[in-house]
Amino acid sequence: MTLSFDLFWSFRSPYSYLVTDRIVAFRNEYDVQCNVRPVYPIAVRQPEFFANSDPLWFSYFARDIHRSAQFLEIPFRWANPDPVQMDPQTRTYPKEQPYIYRLTRLGMAAVERGRGLEFIEQVGRLIWSGAVAGWHEGDHLAEATERAGLDLAILDKQIDEEAARLDLEISMNQDAQREGGHYGVPLMVFDNEPFFGQDRFDQLIWRMQQNGLTRR
């Protein structure tokens, strides 16, 4: 019996990037279905979150994300440009954003074409691995989309024409994310049990093994 789990994932989350290769390998090796559910990052959903957080939150995060990448032996560099732009004068997140809405809508469109996991794998690596400078420039995004088995021009046309509908789908993902038991990403939910964070991935596998997980 094929088991399935929901993956709530954000293009602004380096931790989402760090878990994706393992999820792809897991999907390829086991009889499992990963339901990719793109969400907007918390800087978009709750921009006041960072203004109200303890300063130690960010200092620990900055250390941990580099350490986690080194531990997993995954190439990592902070995204340039950041998928979510911050106003340097006020250190707040403007409502108008040049990248994150397009990326997330593209992710939702890829899901609808049955290539959601492939898309977030390739585009996540483009944004966060540091392999290219200026991931948003030239043909970088088009080439990553092609590696995922999709055509960027077709996806861009769809998200231009269907932005409101795609945003509704993303909003429904965000509601389901909270119903699943957490507000952060990456969040994996199996059988109504939440597993928050890339460091809970092994526990997800363990729980699915208890429920009859088999290899392909």
pLDDT-derived band at 33 (thresholds 50, 70, 90) equals: very high
| Residue 2 and residue 31 in contact, taking contact as beta carbons nearer than 8 Å | yes
Residues 6+ apart with CB under 8 A from 90: none
Residue 152, classified by CB atoms within 10 Å of its CB into exposed (0-12), middle (13-18) or buried (19+), is: middle
Domain limits of the chain? 3-210
For 97-107, the pLDDT digits (tens) are 999 999 999 99
Percentage of residues of the chain with pLDDT beyond 70: 99
pLDDT-derived band at 35 (thresholds 50, 70, 90) equals: very high
CATH class of 3-210: alpha beta
pTM score of the predicted model: 0.95
Q: Is the pLDDT of residue 48 over 90?
A: no
